[in-house]
Amino acid sequence: MDGTYALVTGAAGGIGEAVVRLLAEHGVTVAAVDLHHEQLNSAVEKWLIEGLPVRAYPADVTSSTEVDRLVARVEEEMGPLDHLVNTAGVLRLGEAHRLTDEDWAATLAVNTNGVFFTSRAVVNRMIPRERGAIVTVASNAAGTARAHMAAYAASKAAATAFTKCLGLEVARHNIRCNLVAPGSTDTPMLRGMHTARTAAAASVAGDPGAYRVGIPLGKVARPADVAEAVLFLLSDRAGHITMHDLTVDGGATLGV
């Protein structure tokens, strides 16, 4: 992958940050995209000190106009994109019948519309070049019901279906579209669901009252675990894999 170019959304923290680092360590020049300017710039400054080829591109993936301008700018300033990783995501918790209009709209705006806008902008540039690879970071909740996560699960299920349909349509252009579906991962999002001290333990133990079986491997994922799956699916080692959904959840959904 040395000498290629990638765009990663949600790059300022959690899984996105781990993806940026791993790609850059493998010689990929990365456009790191995030809405949170200060956090993004701080992360990129650290990577540049380490000699990693990363550039900061603050942007809001919920705006199709802004995304189109972003992708055009990245290709003009860096080079033709070989890879896209859709990592940007938000979580609004609440019982389905108590979710507000704003909860629902905000969740789908980032987790679904953001994937659509960014994938569309990038793939339209990949098609004439007859090459490319896209990975959308979805969730094991996309296919497994989770209490208090209806908006999140629905948004990730939509992103999953979209990415597979896109992969079907662009396969003839030698563009592969795959998914990584993490379970509980040691990120600010997980810690926001529990206290920082109990987040991992609660995920591993599960909750019979909420029909969560826990994690058979006895640990939550590290962001780097998910990033390794993304790297594989982008690489030539996965050159005959497309429309695949790779679950990285320590067995939490029992392989279903």
Per-residue pLDDT, averaged over 125-153, amounts to 97
Q: In what order do the strands lie in the sheet with 54-58?
A: 54-58, 29-34, 5-9, 83-86, 132-137, 175-182, 245-248
Whether the pLDDT of residue 199 is over 80: the answer is no
Tell me, yes or no, whether 176 lies in a domain.
yes
pLDDT-derived band at 202, boundaries 50, 70, 90: confident
Structural domain total, the chain: 1
Whether the pLDDT of residue 29 is over 80: the answer is yes
Tell me, yes or no, whether 253 lies in a domain.
no
Per-residue pLDDT, averaged over 16-43, amounts to 97
Q: Residue 178 belongs to what domain range?
A: 5-183+221-247
- What integer best gives the mean pLDDT of the chain? 95
Active-site amino acid positions: 152
pLDDT the model gives residue 211 = 87
pLDDT-derived band at 194, boundaries 50, 70, 90: low
Tell me, yes or no, whether 198 lies in a domain.
no
- CATH code where residue 151 lies: 3.40.50.720
- Alpha-helical (H) ranges within the chain are 14-25, 37-49, 64-77, 101-108, 114-129, 150-170, 188-191, 199-205, 223-234
Tell me, yes or no, whether 193 lies in a domain.
no
Tell me, yes or no, whether 123 lies in a domain.
yes
List, for residues 152-189, the tens digit of each pLDDT value. Answer: 999 999 999 999 999 999 999 999 999 999 999 888 77
Tell me, yes or no, whether 68 lies in a domain.
yes
Tell me, yes or no, whether 209 lies in a domain.
no
Tell me, yes or no, whether 192 lies in a domain.
no
